[in-house]
Amino acid sequence: MEATRAEMATLLDGVAPGARVGIGVGSRGIHGLVELVTAAVASVRAIDAVPVIIPAMGSHGGATAEGQAAVLASLGVDPEALGVEIDARMDTVDLGRSSLGVPLWAADAATRVDHLVLLNRVKAHTHFDGPIQSGLVKMLVIGLGKQPGAELHHRTATTLGWPAVTEAVVPELVARLPLLGGVALVEGTTTEGHGVVHLEAVRADELLDREPVLLKRADAEMARLPTERVDCLVIDRIGKNISGTGLDNNVVGRKTVAHGLDVRSSLRVTAIAVRGLTAETGGNALGLGLADLCHDRALARRDADTTRINALTALDPVAAMVPASLPTDAALLDALLPLAGLPEPEDVRLVWIRDTLHLDELVVSPSVAAELEGRPDVEIVGTMELDFDADGQLPEDLLDVVG
């Protein structure tokens, strides 16, 4: 909280009392997001300026104002509790054309404040490559572009590459918007588990220079599976608050294609099963199409319209496809294990995780445990049996129960 206020102070230096300061907030489940937003709001008020929360999340929330406000509420960001105005309108303005010849779409709300500050986590993107991936820059270009800007820049990146988009568009948006900069976070493993390991203010004119440095730090801190060869990966939950694609492609090794292996990675995950969606994702099941199997309840909680809008805006219809689904956990595992190929069930290399963001505790099969035994970075805390109920079901958040 104090660190955030100190960094915000550097961005707000010179802002006049009474000025309206927009605070861009996205749809990710950033560690300590509520505290981050609360500190940002308090920092604006401390100089007698007026904070305004602006959702900066492209087409998320079904591309509606009500949906985007609901996404923030699901993450604990409640403007009413904070006593702050929220401008969640989806209206956009055309700020002219970039040097790439495409329109510069921006949220109208971002043009109606005196100053603008963005809050976001820097990390590897689930599809984009390059020195800048997911962070303040993406929030500026895609998040604040609302649905039209998000779709247009995804299309442009598909043709010209994301680096070309950032190099051309960022300076022009900075010149046309009242952007002061943003507070960038890097997450990793702390003494208390997953959390924020670095936080800093980045001025608008430093975005293109500073984000590559932060991305390298984020790559070094990124949680990874404890082994590079996994026959079967079981994921308790996916959702937009976990990753842009519900499950992080970088963690499961499926960054470039849906079910094929990422040839640039040594990670080899053969088959993936998803058991459910997070409550915070609001029915957005983007990423379900990257799995091979899923539990019926994941489909039951899927909002087809919200998922489709997000998938088409991101030019990623595959991620919205529906895998084969099974009615029980017992049936799901019975269908999953043969996808490993020839290994006998007791030899299958299985890893079971909460989600792709929280990998500090997980369950592995005996074959994987044997490989990990003795590693200094791994602690084996015990064994467990899968205790199915009479209907063949397990607790929805299995690792929360046994962790």
Q: What is the pLDDT of residues 298-334, one digit of tens each?
A: 999 999 999 999 999 988 999 999 999 999 999 999 9
Which pLDDT score is estimated for 402?
60
Cα separation, 317 vs 255, in Å, equals 14
Write the DSSP assignment of 266-305 as a string of letters.
--EEEEEEE--B-GGGTT--TTGGGSSEEEHHHHHT--HH
So what CATH class is 2-221? alpha beta
Mean pLDDT of 61-70: 95
Q: How many CB atoms lie within 10 A of CB 154?
A: 23
Cα separation, 136 vs 179, in Å, equals 11
State which of 190-194, 258-262, 360-364 shows the largest mean pLDDT: 360-364
Which pLDDT score is estimated for 384?
86
Determine the length of the chain. Answer: 403
Task: Kindly report the average pLDDT of the chain as a whole number.
Answer: 93
Asked whether the predicted pLDDT for residue 360 surpasses 90, the reply is: no
Which pLDDT score is estimated for 183?
98
Which pLDDT score is estimated for 176?
97
186-200, 237-251, 373-387: least confident range: 186-200
Cα separation, 57 vs 45, in Å, equals 24
Helices marked H in 288-365? 296-300, 304-313, 329-336
30-34, 117-121, 181-185: least confident range: 30-34
Which pLDDT score is estimated for 258?
55
Residues β-bridged to residue 272? 233
Cα separation, 69 vs 72, in Å, equals 5
Return the domain boundaries, the chain: 2-221, 229-402
Provide, rounded to the nearest whole percent, the portion of the chain with pLDDT above 70.
96
Cα separation, 196 vs 31, in Å, equals 7
Which pLDDT score is estimated for 216?
96
Which pLDDT score is estimated for 125?
86
Which is more confident, 353 or 244? Answer: 353
Asked whether the predicted pLDDT for residue 169 surpasses 90, the reply is: yes
Location of structure tokens 């924020």: 196
pTM of the model: 0.83
Which pLDDT score is estimated for 260?
58
**Given 3-state DSSP classes, what are the helix, strand and coil percentages for the chain, each rounded to the nearest 5?**
40, 20, 40
Element (H, E) at 20: strand 20-25
203 touches 181 (CB < 8 A): yes
250 pLDDT tier (thresholds 50, 70, 90): confident
> Phi and psi (nearest 5°) for 142?
-105, -50
Cα 118 vs. chain centroid, distance in angstroms?
Answer: 16
Asked whether the predicted pLDDT for residue 263 surpasses 70, the reply is: no
Mean pLDDT of 191-206: 89
Mean pLDDT of 158-175: 95
Which pLDDT score is estimated for 354?
96
50 touches 21 (CB < 8 A): yes
Which distant-in-sequence residues (6+ apart) come within 8 Å of 26 by Cβ?
55, 56, 57, 119, 120, 139, 143
pLDDT one-digit tens code per residue, 226-237: 999 999 999 999
Check residue 320 and report its DSSP letter.
G
Mean pLDDT of 365-374: 93
29 pLDDT tier (thresholds 50, 70, 90): confident
